[in-house]
Amino acid sequence: MNNGQVIKIRHAEPDDYKAVHVIFEQPEAISGTLQLPLTSAEIWKDRLLLDPDKGFSLVALVEGQIVGNCALLLNQHSARRRHCAWLGMGVHDDWHGQGVGSALLQATLDKADNWLNILRVELTVFADNQTAIKLYEKNGFRIEGTHEKYAFRNGEYADSLAMARLRDHLPC
């Protein structure tokens, strides 16, 4: 709940790409991800993961407005890593710190754990994004290492952290 407003999570639908595009045009949201600014809405139409054999994409809504997106990509490239998936998430700048990311992450992990039998969920997060790191740690992710000068962001190279959550390491 956010100021009495309910955060609703649902599977992304084809027409959601326009709202997801708006999320990733926000300065803080774009700075916290590996997405490039000023990307066309048509690119988001293709990126919105709707093929269940490749993973899934969820959206968070408040009063019918899409305010966040989380995608889980299943490992398609290695038979020996089929137990792994990669997570990516973005929240509209106006909704940071209001429970949207937490609701999206919990719904995504529930589906990964209880419906897809994913043992390991991986992600990268910029090393200076303490809010996101705390959210991930609160949900069972651990830092596995640092990627130095991982990505070019705002005119300089930034480090990122490799994080993963192993379902069998979670407290009961």
Which runs of E-coded beta strand occur in the chain? 7-11, 55-62, 65-74, 84-91, 120-126, 142-153, 156-166
> How remote is the C-alpha of 108 from its chain's centroid?
9
pTM above 0.85, yes or no: yes
Q: What was the pLDDT predicted at 45?
A: 81
Among residues 23, 1, 20, the alpha carbon closest in space to that of 12 is found at 20
Q: What was the pLDDT predicted at 132?
A: 94
Radius of gyration for the alpha carbons in the chain, expressed in angstroms and rounded: 16
Residue 143: is it exposed, middle or buried by C-beta count within 10 angstroms (0-12/13-18/19+)? middle
User: From residue 153, how far is each of 33, 38, 44, 158 by CA, in Å?
Assistant: 9, 14, 20, 6
pLDDT tens digits, 5-52:
899 999 999 999 999 999 989 988 888 888 878 888 888 887 886 678
The per-residue pLDDT of the chain, averaged, comes to: 90
- State whether residue 70 is helix, strand or coil: strand
Q: What are phi and psi of 129, to 5 degrees?
A: -90, 70
Q: Which percentage of the chain shows pLDDT scores above 70? A: 95
Domains of the chain: 7-123 (3.40.630.30)
> How remote is the C-alpha of 79 from its chain's centroid?
24
Q: What was the pLDDT predicted at 172?
A: 56
Q: How far apart are CA 147 and CA 129, in angstroms?
A: 14
